[in-house]
């Protein structure tokens, strides 16, 4: 692209938009880092640029482009729900002024044109791109519909069926596909700006009548119409953005049913409804929370020095195999080491089977699988780890086994290699202490299935070096994970919170709720799965072992539910044994209610002297969710998580908390901290010391009171 020096002659149209005239072309340049978001000053600047270009007879054509990495990343999301978002001119007006300009306006797209950025480009008469550009209307991912005419112009440009697919999925398309769809008019490789200026001038000379999408008739030719009913049925009601997807279909339908201006009105009406609602606010919170969580600024962190190019994985079980796939999928070579041939063969067979499932579903080609499998070298010899940059240990969850393994890794691995453990709950400081390099030891807590789940808890030990953390955070992003930095404690962030959540579920069972009622209530709240079905999936024996390990540390005056223990005592460990809180038929994961368990629960309640009563769904949701919130607040207080939003990122991406509620901490904030504090104090009074309120919540409530006018 053109350098800054070329713009010495450029004059500002606003704080974020420059204007220049060259060779009969007016260049309007958006310069609003980091992604040229369409904030108020950008909208104002572009509108003024169009007026100026229109007024100068020497200008034959207009080119609109972005400074920096991208053309435009869309509306400035941070400005939503503020006065700046609705400051005049709105994007609708800007787009109409572009569309009605009598000189050809060409969008010059590099990097991305997303959301409002693509809507801006759609208002231009022509669009050209470089070959690496990506385009899309991803608003549904934020719980929104496009609000700047995208749902009305895109169907007019590429047909209703393709437009409906792009708008409801929120997916990006690359320049090549965009060209095939007719979304862009040309792709240029070198000096995009110069090529775009030449293109604009040639259009001015050869095309006296400009293509204006607003003037095009929909519906398009027969055969291109989508089946709107099928589109509706195809929406997964549990999808984080189901509401926005339904609204997007309505918008596209309006493009067919209504005149252009009325279609714009309908789109705006739905946009405004969604942007004011909690689901979109929550999804926008998640967008920024996930970006924030991945940030780590430490001392002495020259990450460029420490790229992770080769990884050793110890243990080819459930986790080791999935972790190997996660790296192989990102093109990073892996050495997978087991203690015996049979386990290694089993692990590799499982990896192969998982890949074959992707091939049979059309997600991967056979060649891609071959390439990925070639990235996974197998061995029974630990010395194969001598040259790797990072080792991830995924052997049994047993401190003695882990210590033994780390002594060996310390001996074999080269200086500077990172030694990581995938432990779910064990103390990383204890593991680090058996090595001569505790600074290089870290926890990398992947979630199962590790090749699919996006969350990665990066666990910082007492002595872990900042540079090691920074390298791991960067590696996580490179393999498509969402990293969250956490400190050492029992269960880190996610599993620690789960303890309180399951504790309340156990108490509620004793008090009179049924297994199905608890799961149904939590699913109705929005969880992907209820807590008890989830426990069956994870395996009840794992938590039983943890409870036994921690039994001596449990305060005797605190209430304890024996329900989970008594289920385990029957050899019922969940899905893997065909029975847990539910029973399961062979080869089928559907939970079936089991009167045997109901009888066990009644016995536990009787032994504990609890008189069973009718428990409401509201009580179930309140106690389970507030248990998460209170523990999450403690975790923030103790510095185990860096920020409350990190707790949300963990819980949404690892534990099925509904993203459209923004995670437990954001949800609590939207309820209001004063109200949350009052509810937890009440639970403390009624249900005892498990409910001692976290001081962090008291602070939030006080801040809220002080902030009131």
Q: Please identify, using beta-carbon distances, which residue of 318 and 358 lies nearer to ligand NAD.
A: 318
Which of 240/445 has CB closer to ligand NAD? 445
Query: For residue 579, what are the β-bridge partners?
Result: 574, 583
Identify which of residues 148 and 322 has a Cβ nearer to ligand COA in the complex: 148
Kindly report the CA angle at 181 between 179 and 185, in degrees rounded to 5? 40
- What CA–CA distances, in Å, run from 436 to 130, 410, 426, 443, 468? 51, 7, 19, 17, 15
Tell me which of ligand NAD, ligand COA, none is bound by residue 37, counting a contact when its beta carbon lies within the kind-specific cut-off of 5 to 8 angstroms: ligand COA
For residue 233, give both structure tokens: 């049925």
- Answer whether 364's CB lies under 8 Å from 490's CB: no
Rounded least distance, CB 119 to ligand COA, Å: 9
Helix axes 278-293, 644-655, angle to 10 degrees: 100
Q: Give the contacts of 4 (CB within 8 A, at least 6 positions apart).
A: none
Pick the stretch among 79-87, 328-336, 417-425, 633-641 that binds ligand NAD (CB under 6 A): 417-425
How far apart CA 413 and CA 220 sit, in angstroms, is 64
Per-residue contact string for residues 97-136; x = within reach of ligand COA by CB under 6 A: ---------------x-xx---------------------
Identify residues 18-57 at the interface with ligand COA (CB under 6 A): 34-35, 37
The residue from 1, 77, 433, 520 that contacts ligand COA (CB under 6 A) is 77
Our CB check for ligand COA shows the closer of 275 and 540 to be: 275
- What torsion, rounded to 10 degrees, do the Cα atoms 574, 578, 579, 584 define? 110
Where b means 16+ CB within 10 Å and e means fewer, 141-165 reads: bbbbbbbbbbbbbbbbbbbbbbbbb
Q: Which H or E element spans position 527? A: none
Q: Provide the minimum distance between the beta carbon of 636 and ligand COA in the complex, in angstroms, as a whole number.
A: 20
We find the least distance from the C-beta atom of residue 79 to ligand COA, in angstroms, to be: 8
What is the distance in angstroms between the CA of the first residue and the CA of the last residue of the chain?
A: 50
Residue 483 binds ligand NAD, judged by CB under 6 A: no
Whether 139 sits among the annotated catalytic residues: the reply is: yes
Task: Give kind and range of the element (H or E) at residue 359.
Answer: helix 341-360
Per-residue burial over 96-130, b = 16 or more CB atoms within 10 Å of its CB, e = otherwise: bbbbebebbbbbbbbbbbbbbbbbbbbbbbbbbbb
The only residue of 72, 395, 597, 676 in contact with ligand NAD, by rule CB under 6 A: 395
Our CB check for ligand COA shows the closer of 78 and 606 to be 78
Secondary structure of residue 375 in the 3-state scheme: coil
Is there a contact between 74 and 117 (Cβ–Cβ < 8 Å)?
A: yes
Confirm or reject binding of residue 312 to ligand NAD (CB under 6 A). Answer: no
CB neighbours (10 Å) of residue 695?
Answer: 11
Question: Is 187 an interacting residue with respect to ligand COA (CB under 6 A)?
Answer: no
Count CA atoms closer than 13 A to 232's CA, side-chain side: 10
Give the shortest CB-74-to-ligand COA separation in angstroms: 3
- Closest CB to ligand COA among residues 78, 411: 78
Residue 354: CA atoms inside 13 Å, Cβ hemisphere, count? 21
Q: Is 462 a catalytic residue?
A: no
Q: Which is nearer to ligand COA, 491 or 663 (CB)?
A: 663
Between 297 and 586, whose beta carbon lies closer to ligand COA? 297
Using the rule CB under 6 A, is 290 a contact of ligand COA? no
In the region spanning residues 226 to 245, those forming contacts with ligand NAD, defined by CB under 6 A, are none
| Among 99, 139, 393, 511, the one annotated catalytic | 139
Q: Is 418 in the site for ligand COA (CB under 6 A)?
A: no
User: Does residue 491 belong to the site contacting ligand NAD (CB under 6 A)?
Assistant: no
Residue 142 interacts with ligand COA (CB under 6 A): yes or no: yes
Q: How far is the CB of 348 from ligand NAD (least distance, A)?
A: 11
Q: Site for ligand NAD (CB under 6 A): which residue of 20, 119, 338, 631?
A: 338
Pairing of strands 126-129, 105-109: parallel
Binding of residue 394 to ligand NAD (CB under 6 A): yes
Q: Considering the rule CB under 6 A, would residue 343 count as an interface residue with ligand NAD?
A: yes
Q: Is residue 349 near ligand NAD by the rule CB under 6 A?
A: no
| Three-state secondary structure string covering 66-102 | ECCCCCECCCCHHHCCCHHHHCCCCHHHHHHHHHCCC
CB of residue 337 to ligand NAD, shortest distance in Å: 6
Closest residue by Cα to residue 267 from 280, 242, 250: 250
Task: Note whether 505 and 518 are within 8 A (CB).
Answer: yes
Q: Is 267 in the site for ligand COA (CB under 6 A)?
A: no
For residue 193, the partner it binds in ligand COA, ligand NAD, none, with Cβ less than 5 to 8 A by kind, is: none
CA distance 172 to 415: 42
438 contact, one of ligand NAD, ligand COA, none, CB 5-8 Å limit per kind? none
Minimum distance of ligand NAD from residue 474's CB (angstroms): 22
Each residue 260-299 as x (binds ligand NAD by CB under 6 A) or -, in order, gives ----------------------------------------
Hey, what are 343's tokens?
Answer: 């386990």
Taking CA atoms, 524 is separated from 94, 475, 544, 558, in Å, by 42, 36, 28, 30
The token duo for 311 is 């990884």
If binding is defined by CB under 6 A, does position 316 make contact with ligand NAD?
A: yes
Decide: 564 and 540 in contact? Cβ < 8 Å: yes
Compute how many residues bind ligand COA; rule: CB under 6 A: 19
Q: Is residue 145 at the binding interface for ligand COA, with CB under 6 A as the rule?
A: no
The distance of closest approach from Cβ of residue 175 to ligand COA in the complex, given in angstroms and rounded to an integer, is 15
Nearer to ligand NAD, 43 or 425 (CB): 425
Other C-beta atoms closer than 10 Å to the C-beta of 378 total 18
Specify the residue, 316 or 441, whose C-beta has the smaller distance to ligand NAD. Answer: 316
Residue with tokens 């998640």: 286
Q: Which of 27, 75, 600, 627 binds ligand COA (CB under 6 A)?
A: 75
Given the residues 119, 338, 393, 631, the one annotated as active site: 119
Q: CA 246: distance to chain centroid?
A: 21
Residue 466 CB, nearest approach to ligand NAD (Å): 24
Residue in 2, 169, 194, 318 binding ligand NAD, rule: CB under 6 A: 318
For residues 175 and 390, which CB has a smaller minimum distance to ligand NAD in the complex? 390
Binding site for ligand NAD (CB under 6 A): 314-320, 337-339, 343, 394-397, 401, 405, 422-424, 447-448
**Would you please indicate which residues are annotated as catalytic (active-site) residues?**
119, 139
Site residues for ligand COA per CB under 6 A: 34-35, 37, 70, 73-78, 112, 114-115, 138-139, 142, 144, 288, 291
């Amino acid at each position: 692209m053109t350098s800054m020096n070329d713009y010495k002659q450029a004059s500002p149209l606003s704080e974020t938009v420059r204007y220049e005239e060259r060779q009969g072309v007016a260049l309007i340049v958006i310069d609003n880092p980091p992604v040229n978001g369409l904030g108020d000053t950008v909208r104002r600047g572009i509108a003024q640029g169009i007026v100026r270009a229109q007024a100068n007879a020497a200008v034959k054509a207009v080119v609109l482009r972005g400074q920096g990495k991208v053309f435009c990343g869309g509306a400035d999301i941070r400005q939503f729900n503020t006065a700046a978002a609705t400051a005049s001119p709105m994007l609708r007006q800007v787009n109409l002024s572009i569309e009605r300009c009598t000189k050809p306006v060409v969008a010059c797209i590099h990097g991305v044109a997303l959301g409002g950025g693509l809507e801006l480009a759609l208002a231009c008469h022509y669009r050209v791109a470089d070959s690496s550009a990506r385009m899309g209307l991803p608003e549904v991912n934020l719980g929104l519909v496009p609000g700047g005419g995208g749902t009305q112009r895109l169907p007019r440009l590429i047909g209703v069926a393709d437009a409906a697919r792009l708008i409801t999925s929120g997916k990006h398309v690359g320049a090549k596909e965009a060209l095939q769809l007719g979304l862009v008019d040309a792709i240029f490789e070198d000096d995009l700006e110069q090529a775009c200026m030449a293109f604009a001038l040639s259009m001015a000379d050869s095309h006296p009548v400009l293509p204006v999408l607003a003037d095009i008739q929909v519906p398009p030719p027969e055969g291109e119409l989508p089946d709107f009913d099928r589109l509706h049925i195809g929406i997964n009601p549990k999808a984080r953005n189901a509401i926005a997807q339904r609204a997007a279909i309505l918008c596209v339908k309006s493009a067919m049913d209504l005149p252009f201006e009325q279609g714009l009105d309908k789109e705006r009406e739905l946009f405004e409804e969604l942007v004011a609602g909690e689901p979109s606010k929550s999804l926008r919170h998640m967008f920024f929370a996930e970006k924030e969580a991945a940030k780590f600024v430490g001392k002495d962190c020259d990450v460029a020095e420490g790229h992770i190019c080769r990884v050793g994985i110890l243990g080819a079980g459930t986790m080791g195999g999935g972790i190997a796939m996660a790296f192989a999928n990102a093109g990073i070579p892996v050495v997978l080491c087991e203690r015996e041939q049979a386990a290694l063969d089993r692990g590799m067979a499982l990896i192969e089977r998982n890949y074959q499932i992707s091939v049979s579903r059309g997600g991967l080609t056979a060649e891609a699988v071959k390439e990925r499998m070639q990235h996974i070298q197998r061995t029974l010899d630990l010395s194969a780890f001598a040259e790797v940059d990072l080792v991830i240990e995924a052997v049994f969850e047993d401190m003695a086994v882990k210590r033994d393994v780390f002594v060996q890794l310390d001996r074999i691995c080269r200086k500077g290699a990172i030694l990581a453990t995938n432990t779910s709950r064990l103390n990383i400081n204890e593991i680090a202490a058996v090595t001569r390099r505790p600074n290089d030891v870290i926890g990398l807590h992947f979630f199962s299935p590790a090749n699919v789940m996006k969350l990665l808890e990066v666990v910082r030990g007492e002595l872990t070096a900042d540079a090691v953390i920074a390298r791991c955070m960067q590696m996580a992003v490179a393999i498509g994970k969402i990293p969250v930095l956490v400190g050492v404690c029992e269960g880190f962030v996610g599993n620690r919170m789960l303890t309180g959540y399951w504790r309340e579920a156990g108490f509620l069972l004793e008090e009179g709720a049924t297994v199905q009622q608890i799961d149904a209530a939590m699913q109705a709240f929005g969880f992907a799965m209820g807590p008890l079905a989830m426990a069956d999936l994870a395996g009840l024996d794992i938590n039983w072992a943890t409870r036994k390990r921690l039994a001596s540390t449990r305060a005797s005056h605190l209430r304890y539910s024996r329900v989970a223990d008594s289920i385990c005592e029957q050899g019922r460990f969940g899905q893997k044994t065909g029975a847990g809180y539910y029973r399961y038929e062979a080869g089928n994961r559907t939970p079936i209610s089991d009167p045997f368990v109901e009888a066990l629960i009644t016995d536990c309640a009787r032994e504990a002297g609890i008189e069973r009563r009718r428990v409401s769904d509201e009580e179930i949701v309140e106690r389970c969710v507030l248990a998460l919130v209170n523990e999450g607040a403690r975790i923030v207080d103790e510095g185990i998580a860096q920020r409350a939003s990190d707790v949300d990122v963990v819980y949404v991406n690892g534990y099925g908390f509904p993203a459209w509620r923004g995670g437990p901490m954001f949800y609590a904030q939207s309820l209001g901290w004063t109200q949350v504090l009052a509810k937890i104090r009440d639970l403390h009074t009624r249900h005892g010391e498990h409910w001692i309120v976290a001081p962090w919540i008291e602070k939030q409530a006080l801040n809220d009171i002080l902030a009131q006018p």
